[in-house]
Amino acid sequence: MEVPRGGTIQLAVVLRFVDIATDALAGAREEIDALNVYPVPDGDTGTNLYLTVSAARDAIRYATGGDPDADLQVALAAFARGALLGARGNSGVILSEMLGAIARRIAAASAEERNATIMADALRRATDASYAAVGTPVEGTMLTVSRAASDAAMEVARDPSVRARDVFTSAAAAAREALARTPDQLQVLRDAGVVDAGGRGLSVILDAAETVLTGRRPTPVTSPIGRHTIPIPHPAVPEHDLTPDGPSYEVMYLLDAEDDRIAALRKTLAELGDSLVVVGGDRLWNVHVHVDDVGAVIEAGIDAGRPYRVRVTHFAEQVSARQRTQQAQQPQQAREPAGRRVVAVAAGPGLAGLFAQAGAVVVEGGPGRRPSTGELLEAITACGASEVVVLPNDHDSVRVAQVAASTAETDAGIRVAVIPTQAQVAGLAAMAVHEPGRSFDQDVLEMTATARHARHGAVTIAARQAMTMAGPCEPGDVLGVIAGDFAVVGQDTLDVATSVLDKLLGGGGELVTIVSGAEDDDGALATRCAGWVEERHPAVDVVVYDGGQERYPLLMSVE
């Protein structure tokens, strides 16, 4: 008989942890950014840690649909992969390796193991993995804090009467104590009078784990830690890697490569620069290094496999941009507007084309490919506008968009408004009334009102047996969706589609928009639905678009 995996650890606890950890890092992000003086004083450690955990949270939420009864193995695999893909910066890549090690240990646990033993060993493996991932480990950093936490966890777990909550209480306390000692281990921290930023972030995460299991409120992020008071912002510090002797660039990329190619890659990159971190496995790797020769780093990746999502940051420009942003946020120094753009999430190639033709910056999304916080943040900050409107166009992407907007406003000084569109057709309606010539507030108001008044529906195919608001359904049944709820169950696609349209038009309307999906590639179903509207409601205008979205043969809206 196969032994159940995961011990007795519940997915509900994991889901609650990722939410609390993400929220805790969101609250501590600015403080941690202000502590960031090592390895480069670029003020983004808090943001990078937050984006990494947020990506892991988004991945596990999507994989499980938020269902605490979902498969734990699938959830943990998604969590680890999400952290790896979404990792940002030196600290974020290290953290992703820690989170992956913890997830793998939980997934491998047997039902006979005590949760306290599982979690203590998971923390130990996270520490070992983080040290192994770093080219040249430095004490006084998040590695040191992690080691102290895992040592304390292993020590307390020796007692057979302790529980997982006791393990995390001891680990979190040891992390705080180790964090307070980091200035004694690293001269650059002592000179600045701060604790290590990455270590502080790890402490926040362990506090979140303790909160989940005990209900204890974490240490307030602005409180003194030990004898070191956290200054916000930190005083002037030496430029360290920004000096002529230090590397000028941070290079990151994902790498598709066989595991046996990584040792040689690490050796090559170690000779090119510093702050080297390579994490991952099973042909998916996240590579981070600080160098002067960007081309050589990318060539090394090509020699090892296939690098993609290459990100290059020039430290001097990054610090200068941050200083300009801070100056721009002062009341006496108003920023000159640099235009307005719309960032829209599109669920198919046809929809992407429609949004792009209307002038939007398009981010790929939709079921099975919802965008991460980092992807939306990059779209917002890279579009070159001082005012940005975001159309998430999906219920599950609204919160992700709000997080990205908040980060962009804080870090880049961009004014961002998220219109909580929960359907692609609602986004199209909002885009149709977008007018850059209006004031920002008025434009957002008009787009929001239009999206809100657009009644939206869809047609999809049931993948499994379930009970819906319209009654039971079997695999293969045609489902009609109205405002996110299943309202019609039937056998004929056209009958279900026209039933949805009939319900949408029950409250009146002047314009019907029908978007055909990948399963209606010739547009025949959409055309027949348009004909039905013209016959039954001759006073109503109808427009048909080829959206190319997956899983939904039709999307519909009535304005």
For residue range 59-108, list pLDDT tens digits in order: 898 888 878 889 999 999 999 999 998 888 888 999 999 999 999 999 99
Give a yes or no: residue 228 inside a domain.
no
Check the CA dihedral 63-126-46-87 and report its sign.
negative
211 lies in the same domain as 63: yes
User: What average pLDDT does range 383-392 have in this prediction?
Assistant: 91
Last-in-domain residue among 422, 453, 484: 453
Of the pLDDT bands very low, low, confident and very high (cuts 50, 70, 90), residue 3 is very low
pLDDT at 334 over 70: no
Give the chain's domain count: 4
pLDDT at 321 over 80: no
Domain containing 356 equals: 336-453
Of the pLDDT bands very low, low, confident and very high (cuts 50, 70, 90), residue 218 is low
pLDDT digit string, tens, across residues 490-518: 999 999 999 999 999 988 888 999 999 98
Most confident listed range (58-67, 128-137, 419-428):
419-428
Give a yes or no: residue 229 inside a domain.
no
Give a yes or no: residue 542 inside a domain.
yes
- DSSP three-state, residue 257: coil
User: Which comes out higher in pLDDT, residue 157 or 223?
Assistant: 157
Last-in-domain residue among 453, 473, 491: 453
119 lies in the same domain as 154: yes
489 lies in the same domain as 526: yes
463 lies in the same domain as 515: yes
As a whole number of angstroms, the distance between CA 164 and CA 210 comes to 9
75 lies in the same domain as 202: yes
Q: Give the CATH number for residue 467.
A: 3.30.1180.10
Last-in-domain residue among 264, 290, 318: 318
Quick one: pLDDT at residue 233? 38
Give a yes or no: residue 209 inside a domain.
yes
63 lies in the same domain as 209: yes
- pLDDT, averaged across the chain: 84
Least reliable range by pLDDT among 146-160, 304-318, 354-368: 304-318
Rg (CA), the chain: 26
Q: State the virtual CA torsion across 319, 325, 331, 333 in degrees, nearest 10.
A: 90
Kindly state the tokens that stand for 213: 């299991």
Q: Give the CATH number for residue 43.
A: 1.25.40.340
As a whole number of angstroms, the distance between CA 177 and CA 199 comes to 11
179 lies in the same domain as 53: yes
As a whole number of angstroms, the distance between CA 122 and CA 150 comes to 8
Least reliable range by pLDDT among 57-61, 234-238, 390-394, 503-507: 234-238
167 lies in the same domain as 196: yes
Cα-based angle 19, 22, 27 (whole degrees, multiple of 5): 125
pTM for this one?
0.59
Give a yes or no: residue 74 inside a domain.
yes
Q: Give the CATH number for residue 402.
A: 3.40.50.10440
Give, rounded to a whole angstrom, the gap between the first and last alpha carbons of the chain. 58
Locate tokens 């657009």: which residue? Answer: 454
The residues, ordered by sequence, that sit 6+ positions from 549 with a Cβ below 8 Å of its Cβ are: 347, 348, 350, 351, 366, 424, 515, 517, 518, 555
Q: Give the CATH number for residue 262.
A: 3.30.70.2730
Quick one: pLDDT at residue 238? 37
Percentage of the chain exceeding pLDDT 70: 88
Query: Is the peptide bond preceding residue 39 cis, with omega within 30 degrees of 0?
Result: yes
151 lies in the same domain as 60: yes
27 lies in the same domain as 129: yes
Give a yes or no: residue 355 inside a domain.
yes
Give a yes or no: residue 122 inside a domain.
yes
104 lies in the same domain as 156: yes
Give a yes or no: residue 2 inside a domain.
no
Quick one: pLDDT at residue 217? 64
pLDDT at 385 over 50: yes
156 lies in the same domain as 169: yes
45-64 vs 89-108: helix axis angle to the nearest 10? Answer: 30
